[in-house]
Amino acid sequence: MLYEDHHLLIVNKPAPLLTQAPPGVPNLEALVKSYIKEKYAKPAGVYLGVPHRLDRPVSGVVCFARNTKAAQRVHAQFAERSVRKVYWALVEGVVDSDAGAWDDWIRKIADEARVERAEAEAPGAKLATLEYRVLQRLDSVTHIELEPLTGRMHQLRVQTAWRGHPVLGDAMYGGTRAFGPPAELPRDHVVALHARRLTITHPFTKQELTVEAPLPAYWSSLLSASLAR
């Protein structure tokens, strides 16, 4: 648990756990509901709003709302793009520039859980924008901080990959290096992308709230001690 009050519950999602799933499939939403039910002795159903999600192979900060008013207000912040989301990634190769911004037009591939590069005028094309800065250059790997300014599907993963720097472990978008714990099934593989910080306006106090998620332990072998926290 990273933050908890009467309105919000913010947690550090492990990969490859799903944020949401049908009944019977392990997922973060169900775990958080069980936690609330047990801690607050709620015999009836537990309300939990889910204003945003992380991809299955991605770890990090996920914010839940504990009542409908909080859910509406936080969801509106995501819709208006007033939320600040900062991710850490380990990508293949050496990113030359210390900082910058990337713009790409992308679109979802029909009937697939993937996206592709698109021309601006193509049907379904959406602009994806992010800002980045290099945190550390390692042996053929770059530790990079990414801040999406738009919320497109798989945006960070494809924007790094299209520049020759796929996220470690991300075979879907051209990654060639394994990452994380061994997994028998492809769905259980993780990628080196972590939702590090989330900044929102608290739905009731109106104060700025920033929550930071520690890195999974399996990142530490690739990072210096100062960054592997």
Structure tokens belonging to residue 165: 């720097």
- Whole-number Å distance between alpha carbons of 104 and 162: 9
Alpha-carbon dihedral 7, 10, 13, 17, rounded to 10 degrees: 0
User: Quick one: CA dihedral 87, 88, 92, 95, positive or negative?
Assistant: positive
Residue 111 annotated to the active site: no
Asked if 176 and 163 count as a contact pair (C-beta separation under 8 A), the reply is no
Q: Which of 5, 55, 98, 103 is catalytic?
A: 55
Structure tokens belonging to residue 147: 């801040």
Max distance between CA atoms of the chain, in angstroms, equals 56
3-class secondary-structure state, position 71: helix
Q: What are the residue numbers of the active site? A: 55
